[in-house]
Chain A
């Protein structure tokens, strides 16, 4: 079975407290719906999956995440060394993808937190909100309006502009 999500990162709200104070005699519709979902969707899917994995009882093959070595960046390349430019460009692209995924993960956490907490999310999810704000500001300042033809050189030029603007302000 694939692993469930990390319970530390996406904690579920506790189901014991507060004590339910039912005033009406009608059954709880949320409970009914969750039981319905469990028996109609969750249980058949899980048993099907277990059956399939019973058939596949053999040596499982593994797949890995590729680890890339760090190479000199664009600022550390000699001028005219096009091979060095290429390697720096490829590394910058990989880092761009990684940063996009980081932003997606932070967004997902904020979304999950909001879903959990309901109306009081702005108070209970303060940490996730701050984290999201920080990460998205950083992403915007570094990769913000580079566009579809973004490259390492353009990002470097954007950084230069940013540093010049900061120096002018100071």
Chain B
């Protein structure tokens, strides 16, 4: 497929009149030819030259680069099984790990550089340290301060639970003991069987001996 510029050049060459006198037609033709050659070189669809020698008539000499191909210069289409899924998996793995990993790593680095760990010191006289002041790293201290209860409070909570369970066990044991006693002796409020009132008994069938 010829481009339009070279087509114009070819037709201009064919249609040149053979008379010797330079006529307007010939001048026009030669102008057309120059213009066609110009557009052929500067075709925007086929921009191959650099901008420095755009309007000059020279052509840049391309360097012959020596490229070693394993296929001896011939372009090969290597047929191998698809690695699309593997590469996609690894890409997504790296992406999701680094999505949270990089901010966390940056945070920990900046905390370690700019805030720094605490130093061990003797407890000053008459001072009760807060429960987070028993840890070294600033992030551990922050977690202990903001989220966790103090170990003293946890200890007391556990002792409270034990006390409640002990009281329940004691109550249950006592209840069994009391039950046994009341069953045996029968003089307590439990295990009372209500009998009828004596005044309700009708003694009339046996009230007199001759009835």
A64 CB contact (under 8 Å) in B115, B122, B158, B165:
B122
C-beta contact mask, B130-142 vs A, less than 8 Å → 1, else 0? Answer: 0001111010010
CB-CB under 8 A for A64 and B113, given A82-B162, A82-B165: no
Q: Is the interface of B mostly helix, strand, loop or mixed?
A: helix
B-side contacts of A56, CB under 8 Å: 113-116
Is the CB of B123 closer than 8 A to any CB of chain A?
yes
The residues in B between 110 and 133 inclusive whose CB is less than 8 angstroms from any CB of A are: 113-116, 118-123, 129, 133
Whose C-beta in chain B lies nearest to the C-beta of A86? B162
Contacts of B165 on A, CB cut-off 8 Å? 82
Which of B121, B163, B170 contacts A62 (CB under 8 A)?
Answer: B121
Instruction: Verify if B84 is at the interface (C-beta below 8 Å from A).
Output: no
A85–B122 alpha-carbon span in the complex (Å): 31
Most central of A56, A62, A90 by chain B CB within 10 Å: A62
Minimum C-beta distance from A137 to chain B (A): 32
Residue in A60, A87, A90 whose CB lies within 8 Å of B119: A60
CB distance from B176 to the nearest CB of A (A): 15
A70-111 interface code vs B (CB 8 A; 1 in, 0 out): 000000000011110011001000000000000000000000
Q: Does A157 contact B (CB under 8 A)?
A: no
Determine the distance from Cα of A104 to Cα of B141 in the docked complex, in whole angstroms: 27
Q: Is A52 an interface residue (CB 8 A)?
A: yes
Asked if A63 is at the interface (CB within 8 A of a chain B CB), the reply is: yes
B119 proximity list for chain A (CB < 8 A): 60-63
How far is A53 from B141 in the complex, measured between Cα atoms in Å? 20
With CB as the reference atom, state the residue of chain A lying closest to B115: A56
- Let me know if A148 is at the binding interface, CB within 8 A: no
* A60, B120: Cα distance in complex, Å: 10
Closest to A87 in B: B159
Within 8 A of A (CB), among B149-169: 155, 158-159, 162-163, 165-166
Residues of A within 8 A of B133 (CB): 61-64
Contact among A52, A60, A64, A83 for B159, CB-based, below 8 A: A83
Q: Which residues between 70 and 127 of chain B lie within 8 Å of chain A, taking CB atoms? A: 113-116, 118-123
- Judge if A16 is at the interface, Cβ distance under 8 Å: no
Query: Would B113 and A83 count as touching, CB distance under 8 A?
Result: no
Residues of chain B at the chain A interface (Cβ within 8 Å): 113-116, 118-123, 129, 133-136, 138, 141, 155, 158-159, 162-163, 165-166, 170
Q: Could you name 10 residue pairs across A and B whose Cβ atoms are closer than 8 Å?
A: A55-B114, A60-B119, A61-B118, A63-B135, A64-B129, A64-B134, A66-B134, A82-B163, A83-B162, A90-B155
8 closest Cβ pairs, A-B complex: A62-B121, A63-B118, A56-B116, A61-B118, A82-B166, A64-B123, A82-B162, A64-B129
